[in-house]
Amino acid sequence: MANDSLSADALAAENAVLQRRIAELERLHEECLLTEQALRQGEERYRRLLESVTDYVYTVQVANGRAVSTVHGPNCVAVTGYTAQEYQDNPLLWLTMVPDEDRPAVLEHARQVLEGDPTPIEHRIIHKDGTVRYVRNTPVVHRDASGALVAYDGIINDITERRRAEALITRMSLHDGLTGLPNRVLFMDRLRQTLRLAERSHERAAVYFIDLDRFKGVNDAFGHETGDKVLQETARRLAGCVRRSDTVARLGGDEFVALTPAVGDADHAGVIAAKMVAVLRKPFSVSGHDCQLGGSVGVALYPEDGVRAGELVRRADAAMYAAKNAGRNAWRMAQDAVPGPSADPAEQPPPQEVEGP
């Protein structure tokens, strides 16, 4: 009888333990359901957040280090012109819409993302309408409990307008606002690059320093608006004296410089300088006024007159002043000029003149 009572007590105890385990399992199951619901809600909030701060999102599923499927968000049509269905129908569309020049970088970026590196990339795409746009692709990787990459989201932003604004700012910082010519910073950069190439290829380069004669009289007689138009016309005339691959720049005021890489013989540089003097000698007809000006040009050659950019500009400047001090409306080579802008004209040889048009 005692054994039966003990057995009943043991069964009751075991039953109580089982009931507690069942209750615990039910509690854990409910927690799992709540966790799963929270994860789904979190994922949905994450998706909505992405869509609110970006133009569209695509998701790549990854297995064994390889992309196995891609789904593009519906907003992709606004950025690329292609619908999500078109991406699904053509799995390589994402790559074929990238220009040839950018494609290697985009492929390398995709490889790095699959290796777990979520570094963003900016590149061009060809919109379905044929226009070129810039996008920023920011990957967000997802890993399983073991740390293996199982998927990643590509957050796409259309940055075309930003790139255009940056290009405009860069252009404004490197070009003269009045004439559109390169400014001193860009000219000196191009000159340094030219000298490096000239050193390797053993070629001669020429630097020209050009200053208008009697320009101050235009501003005094007709106003600065007329003077600005004279400067714009001067820029056009000087640009017409050299090749498209050469550089004409405005340093400020009525001072201009030019650069002709691979100029060949020194005599060729003299021909170009003479052409500059000739075109500046022609009357300027602006704002109803005929202005007779002229120009003085100094020429410095690499390597004869120097091997550094600043040195060549200074030698060309000195040669220009030598021509101006000796009578204006002429050109002079640096080798024939007395250094310094304040040299006494009476002590200098006569400048090389050119016949008028």
Per-10-residue mean pLDDT, the chain, length 357: 62 75 76 68 60 76 92 91 95 95 96 93 96 95 92 93 88 91 95 96 96 87 88 96 96 95 94 96 87 93 96 96 90 76 36 38
b/e map 202-211, b = 16+ CB within 10 Å = eebbbbbbbb
What distance, in Å, lies between the first and last C-alpha atoms of the chain?
Answer: 139
Return all residues near 113 (Cβ < 8 A) that are at least 6 apart. Answer: 139, 141, 152
Give the CATH number of domain 177-347: 3.30.70.270
| Residue with token string 């992309």 | 67
Determine the distance from the C-alpha atom of residue 52 to the mean position of all C-alpha atoms in its chain, rounded to a whole number. 28
> Which residue type does 127 have?
H
Domain layout of the chain by residue ranges: 2-164, 177-347
* Residue 341: predicted pLDDT: 38
For residues 148 and 116, give the distance between their C-alpha atoms in angstroms, rounded to a whole number: 9
Q: Which of the listed CATH numbers 3.40.50.11540, 3.30.450.20, 3.30.930.10, 3.50.50.60 matches domain 2-164?
A: 3.30.450.20
* Residue 356: predicted pLDDT: 37
Same fold, 2-164 and 177-347: no
For residues 296 and 319, give the distance between their C-alpha atoms in angstroms, rounded to a whole number: 9
For residues 75 and 158, give the distance between their C-alpha atoms in angstroms, rounded to a whole number: 11
* Residue 51: predicted pLDDT: 53
* Residue 43: predicted pLDDT: 62
Long-range contacts of 287-293 (CB under 8 A, 24+ apart): 287/222, 287/225, 287/226, 287/229, 289/221, 289/222, 289/226, 291/218, 291/222, 291/226, 291/230, 292/214, 293/212, 293/213, 293/214, 293/215, 293/218, 293/230
Return all residues near 199 (Cβ < 8 A) that are at least 6 apart. Answer: 303, 307
